[in-house]
Amino acid sequence: MRPGFFYYRRYWDRRAAARLLAVLLLVGLLSLIFIATAQMRPLLGSLATTKVSNTVTRIVSEAVYEAIENGEIQYDGLVSFEKNNDGQITAVRSNMTAFNHLQAEILDTVLTRIDQVSARELSIPIGTLTGSSLLAGRGPRITVRMESVGSSEANFKNEFVSAGINQTKHQIILTVDVYVSILLPGFTTATKVSNSFIVAETVIVGSVPDSYTYFSTDPGTYEEDLKDYILNGQ
């Protein structure tokens, strides 16, 4: 045989061996990634849930505080007092139209802003998953996406608290519950993010009102909205 034939054969043998080695390395790398991902899945899910919860809390807080700063949430616009001939407050009435309008507007703002959050903002560096402080925030980033769920809700409630001798503090509390799906490579999880805010309050000086119109936009108590409750003895 010609010398060139042996050279050609050795060349192809080397190429075949190199390809086989490359395939084996790739399979090994993919297996390592698969095993590491399976082991780190709980940690990844926990970190992603925390990151998403913090982002949703920020969005909800901004929406509520903007509504307060813009004058959309004002005590006088949400409730009214009834007084007797002596000028004493006898009842506190709620403006359910205003409550329902604010509830829908705030929730719409929150869900719209959630949909606008970029995957980059939620992504998690691989180094963070190692638990090492030196590697935290370093390395390639794992994409995290979130989608709001239609069952999210915003509800107003009220609370009467003793504020001293012959004084009663009336607080209007907004609770926003946001349900989100968290999309991660290879699996999906979900979480509920709840935030409560005292959006308006006043101190009623003098005799405790005889009654108040109980209000709550929570569907579970909606049937009670129009009933008058006696404050004394509650």
pLDDT of residue 60: 94
Is 80 contained in some domain? yes
3-state secondary structure of 41: helix
The pLDDT, as a whole number, for residue 202 is 84
Model-wide pTM > 0.85: no
Q: Is residue 159 part of a domain?
A: yes
Other residues' Cβ atoms within 10 Å of the Cβ of residue 193: 21
Q: Is the pLDDT at 148 greater than 50, yes or no? A: yes
Contact (Cβ atoms closer than 8 angstroms) between residue 172 and residue 201? yes
Taking the C-alpha atoms of residue 213 and residue 199, their distance in angstroms, rounded to an integer, is: 18
State how many domains the chain has. Answer: 1
Average pLDDT, the chain: 76
- pLDDT-derived band at 110, boundaries 50, 70, 90: very high
pLDDT for the residue 63 = 93
Is 135 part of any domain?
yes
In sequence order, what DSSP letters do the residues of 181-213 get, joined into one string?
EEEETTEEEEEEEEEEEEEEEEEEESSPPSEEE
Q: Domain containing 125: what range?
A: 49-230
Reply yes or no on whether the pLDDT at 228 is more than 80. no
For residues 122-145, average pLDDT: 75
| pLDDT confidence of residue 135 | 62
User: Does 215 or 66 have the greater pLDDT score?
Assistant: 66
**Phi/psi at 126 (nearest 5 deg)?**
-60, -35
1 part of a folded domain: no
Banded model confidence at residue 230, pLDDT cuts 50, 70, 90: very low
Residue 40 lies in a domain: no
- The mean pLDDT value for 157-181 works out to 85
Q: What stretch of H or E contains 114?
A: helix 96-115
Using one digit for the tens of pLDDT, what is the confidence trace for 16-41? 777 777 877 887 777 666 665 666 77
Q: 131 or 193: whose pLDDT is higher?
A: 193
Residue 196 lies inside a defined structural domain of this protein: yes
pLDDT of residue 176 exceeding 90? yes
The answer to whether residue 38 sits within a structural domain is no
On whether residue 222 sits in a domain, the answer given is: yes
